[in-house]
Chain A
Amino acid sequence: MAKIVVDGNEYEVDPNNNLLQECLSLGLDLPYFCWHPCMGSVGACRQCAVKQYRDENDEKGTIVMACMTPASDGARISITDGQAHDMRERVIESLMISHPHDCPVCEEGGECHLQDMTLMSGHNYRRYDKKKITHHNQYLGPFINHEMNRCITCYRCVRFYDGYAGGTDLSAQASHHHTYFGRHEEGTLENEFSGNLVEVCPTGVFTDKVFSQAYTRKWDLQTAPSVCTGCSTGCNITPGERYGSLRRIVNRYNSEVNGYFICDRGRFGWEYVNGEERVQTPVQIVGDESKEMSDEEIDELFNDLAKGGVIGIGSPRSSNESNYALRKLVGEANFYPGIGDDEHAINQLILELHKDKVFHTPSVREIGQADAVVIVGEDITNTAPRIALAVRQSVRNKAEELAALNNIPVWQDAAVRELAQQERSPLFILSNAASRLDDVAQQTFIGTCAEQAKFAFAIAESLAGATPTGLTDRQHELLVEIVEALRNAKRPLIISGSSNRSIEMVQAAANIARALSAEEPSHLALMLPEANTMGLELLVSPEQRLGAALEKCATGEVSKVIVLESDLYRRAPTASVDNALSNAETVVVLDQMHSATTAKATHVFPVTAFSEQESTYVNYESRAQLSFKVHQAVTDAKPGWKWLTNGKADINKIIKACSDEAEGFGSLDGLVPRLSQFVAGLKIPRQSHRYSGRTAMIANRNVHEPKQPTDNESVMAFSMEGMPAMKDASILGSTWAPSWNSNQSISKFQEEVNGELKQGHTGTLLLTKKIESGVPFTPPQSGGDGNSAKLTLSLAFQIFGSEELSARSPAIQKRMTDAYVALAPADAARLDIKQGDSVGLNGGPAVVACIREKISEGSCVVHCGVRLNPHDLAGTVSLTKAADSLPGKGLNGLIVSDLCEEGY
């Protein structure tokens, strides 16, 4: 701790930070632009000028940039000093020289950091009366608008996009006051974190294009704290609603999980909520007829279902409450996971590993701190994108180490990067094909799942002191390199997951981590495919397999089945689903959207989307998080549990019951805030205190102002009135603080910059360590290398398209590729397949051929898109050239670094 003096007041601060960060941590108002809480300082904007004095006798002082000055012991500064104030006012004035006067039509207006800082700096009259500089705007794809005239050249966009997220298609161009930020030519911003530009840009250069279509000012959005359901990371988000439709999603700060950034799937994958394809009302389907169900009929149906003899299929994208309610309704013995059997087995293994004291599952923040990472097979960029962003930061730990050796503070961002150049903490990737993280990887190992598992087992053996056999020279070299890197690391991390459906991979990853564990548990992050895979797996036993359930239906052993929020045609082989559903008498499907499964149902019930319900989800770490209801359901939808309990439960009751009765969920109930914890029992408003037009909202339909809906189940209210977040931020939808209208106001709610939220919590870890120490897994006996004419198959995932619900959003669809099969050039040549050809899989459905450099010969990687059922594909596949070309978009939009150019 160091003591500094700011305007005569003494404070204790962290000398390892800069003065700007420490001033903000202290709650002082000091304007800035180029500094970013997790990207450090570069000193470009000169907005954070303060006066610094040598000692108490120094009356003159000098102007310094707070962000570029260490908060060292004894530092004396003044923010209010006249010269410093004047400097800040001049900076704003010159930044605004060419800034358009378009706040009224600018989508940043009302949450614009530039507006805030302008006011804070005291500049209010434009003296500049010469010609303005104007720029050309670019088309940047379906997600992002570009309005360069608003740019204030803070360099944050490129620093985030390029430096932080590893993007390669946005850069600073030209120079002096013509400096421009854009692509080399118009086109889609390729990086999967491009949406963060909207929040990183302090003004309206990069804005949310999807939001544009039905734009609403920040203060007019109804918001609540929510959790992203795009993958198992569990990023915290703030969705915003107006006039009964969802409008946008922005990041919600959580120090342990997503920090300041989310991925584009999470940000843009919500449009399905408002879509026409939503299941509108409860219907019964008889033959070709579907008829709306009356309340009595519904009552009758569920009373009947409660009598037993019903199979319930839970969902990894459903809340704990709904899954629990289903289990309760059908009984544990009849409750099955809507998860493919291979994956289920791996997920259960992962649960077991979680309980082993030898392992620790790191949070996203901890992942970013790792100093050596081995990824075994999991393509995290596409299955858990935010984790990939964290891994990308982890390689920078080496730079921070070097900086420390050279006495360069880590917040000196550019200096640290220049010092380290290409020096990175080691990252090794075992993978089926090239991945998006290869650019920061020290080495990659390309092989089939079995080859990767074998190699990973060898790493573990070698770490444990044995000498693995059966490796090629090149593999052996790589092995030595990896083992050494892991041994030298202070915070090594192993990542794998269940998306590949290879249990050996996860076992091998666990073996590596086990071999590394010393006094401290070693870090092992095992990704799960969906938002609540962990929650569902906690409710079922390994023996409850979906295959068995379908079998029971098919054989007529059970005639009634309830399918919760799942398209079974993505979860099990088509034939077995067909058999099961056509033989069952009653097929009740509860879902948000129509699907191949609802098409086979006898009864379909509309279920609320994530933003329409209060619910809990459990992420890959077993972190249970509460997500609040943002708005009323767009349709007649109700939460799954509400249907399943036949309206008998409320959210508090169901969470309590789940907490009490379901093993492992004991701390779930603690997540739910009680009104009594707030001052005078005040509710938390979902609307800002500036929310406007409430009386006129539906005036086009009815001039009488409707009563605001009440929410008896939640501590949140559909209202502007209640507990101001500034008083208690434990439930923080959208941030706002006096003078701070933009998302930068977050610092007012943090214990310190980048710290935990005041009064807030980051979720609860459900799983506790029970197993003293398990034993290593034995590697499988390598099977015959059978030189069959078939190619060994593994699956490819795409951030845009592989998740069921987001894939129904138009903006996401614009970034999706067709189903494809990727194969090595040699195999393509042998089979006479050219880039972009349409190719039949096992003589069946046709997909696009994608010839890639980094795939082992004899294997292929298939992306199923939204058309193919991955469970119809076995471990090997034969490819035949199909006659017709596919009507879709082919490989258009596919971004991989190892595409063979031939044919293009």
Chain B
Amino acid sequence: MSSQVIASTKNRARVLTEAEISEIEHEKTLYPDNQAVGLEALKIVQNHQGWVSDESLLAIAEYLDLSVADLEGVATFFNLIYRQPVGKHVILYCDSVSCWICRGDDVRNYLSDKLNIDYGQTTEDNEFTLIPVPCLGDCNNAPVMMVGQDLHRNLTKAGIDEIIGQYRNKSA
């Protein structure tokens, strides 16, 4: 596909980093076409930048010669692609049924109050973003949440204090 972007739009793309490019190039070897690589590239860029900005979106579209609109359609479809900035640590809180039965909501409310943010929000210090996530597949340890790549199980209010403390210390 040769996308026909009006020049002025093209102009706003950011420059992809070498690391991003080399990872994208690697993905190209795994898939037969660029459309498939587009979604991979969104993940790659997010890995490096924390989220996918408009400038990143344009950069990927241009690099892979994909339509920006299509790429936006893809980026906004999947819940693990962030089209808005997120905090340093993204908390994916399981809001599915087993965790709910195990009183996950109480713990979630506690966490929300503690960080003073609701779902979809980021703490003022930019440390944490709280996002609900469907069943994390660890239902025998409900309630659970994931912070960054770490799974935290059998959550309790006391446990939350400790976990949040750990990440705060790491950042400090």
Contact = CB atoms under 8 A, between A and B. Distances in A.
Interface residues of A, number: 32
A168 B73 contact: no
B155 interface: no
Nearest to B72: A184
A711 interface: no
A168 B7 contact: no
A162 B68 CA distance: 12
Contact of B4 (A183, A896, A901): A896
A897 interface: yes
Contact of A169 (B2, B67, B76): B67
* Smallest CB-CB A-B distances: 3 pairs: A168-B67, A171-B73, A171-B69
A895 B2 contact: no
Contacts of B73: 171-173
Given A185-B54, A893-B6, A901-B10, A175 B69 contact: no
B7 A904 contact: yes
Contacts of B1: 168, 439
A897 B67 contact: no
Contacts of B25: none
A184 B2 contact: no
B11 A904 contact: yes
A169 B69 contact: yes
B6 A895 contact: yes
Interface in B49-94: 54, 57, 67-73, 76-77
B140 interface: no
Q: Count chain B CB atoms within 10 A of each CB in A184, A185, A901 and give the residue with the most.
A: A184
B17 interface: no
B76 A187 contact: no
Given A168-B3, A894-B6, A896-B4, 7 more contacts: A162-B67, A162-B70, A168-B5, A171-B67, A174-B77, A422-B33, A897-B2
Contacts, number: 69
Interface string A186-230: 011010000000000000000000000000000000000000000
A897 B4 contact: yes
Contact of A439 (B2, B76, B77): B2
Interface string A863-904: 000000000000000000000000000011111110101001
B67 A904 contact: no
Contacts of A183: 69
B149 interface: no
Interface string B2-31: 111111111100000000000000000000
Nearest to A172: B73
A190 B77 contact: no
Given A174-B76, A174-B77, A175-B77, A184 B4 contact: no
Nearest to A836: B7
Nearest to A900: B7
B2 A438 contact: yes
Contacts of B33: 421-422
Interface string A418-442: 0001100000000000101011000
Interface in A397-451: 421-422, 434, 436, 438-439
Most buried by A among B54, B69, B76: B69
Contacts of A175: 76-77
Nearest to B79: A175
6 contacts: A169-B69, A172-B73, A188-B6, A438-B2, A439-B1, A897-B4
A174 B77 CA distance: 5
Nearest to A185: B54
Contacts of A422: 33
B10 A168 contact: no
Contacts of A899: 7
Given A190-B4, A895-B4, A169 B10 contact: no
B4 A168 contact: yes
A170 interface: yes
Given A174-B77, A184-B57, A439-B1, A168 B69 contact: yes
B8 A904 contact: yes
Contacts of B9: 185, 187
A188 B69 CA distance: 13
Interface residues of B, number: 23
Interface of A: 162, 168-175, 180, 183-185, 187-188, 190, 421-422, 434, 436, 438-439, 891-897, 899, 901, 904
Interface of B: 1-11, 33, 54, 57, 67-73, 76-77
Contacts of B71: 184
Contacts of A169: 67-69
A168 B70 contact: yes
A171 B77 CA distance: 11
B31 to A, nearest CB: 12
A718 to B, nearest CB: 44
Nearest to B70: A171
B60 to A, nearest CB: 12
Contacts of B77: 173-175
B2 A173 contact: no
Contacts of B72: 171, 173, 184
Which of A173, A421, A897 counts the most B-chain CB atoms under 10 A from its CB?
Answer: A173
Contacts of A171: 67, 69-70, 72-73
Contacts of B7: 891, 894, 899, 901, 904
A187 B57 contact: no
Contacts of B4: 168, 190, 436, 895-897
Contacts of A187: 6, 9
Nearest to A170: B69
Contacts of A891: 7
Nearest to B73: A171
A177 to B, nearest CB: 14
A436 B4 CA distance: 8
Contacts of B76: 173-175, 180
Contacts of A434: 2
B134 to A, nearest CB: 13
A196 to B, nearest CB: 17
A901 B4 CA distance: 13
A121 B107 CA distance: 47
B69 A904 contact: no
Contacts of B3: 168, 897
A171 B69 CA distance: 5
B33 to A, nearest CB: 7
Contacts of B10: 901, 904
Given A173-B76, A439-B2, A897-B2, A184 B68 contact: yes
Contacts of A162: 67, 70
A438 B7 CA distance: 18
Contacts of A190: 4, 6
Nearest to A892: B8
Contacts of B69: 168-171, 183-184
Contacts of B5: 168
Contacts of A436: 4
Nearest to A161: B69
Contacts of B6: 187-188, 190, 893-895
Nearest to A422: B33
A896 B4 CA distance: 6
Contacts of B8: 892, 904
Nearest to A439: B2
Contacts of A185: 9, 54
A713 B151 CA distance: 83
B46 to A, nearest CB: 17
A893 B5 CA distance: 10
A188 B76 CA distance: 21
Nearest to B77: A175
A895 B54 CA distance: 21
A521 B90 CA distance: 67
A434 B4 CA distance: 11
Nearest to A184: B72
A765 B163 CA distance: 81
A896 B72 CA distance: 21
Contacts of A439: 1-2
A353 to B, nearest CB: 33
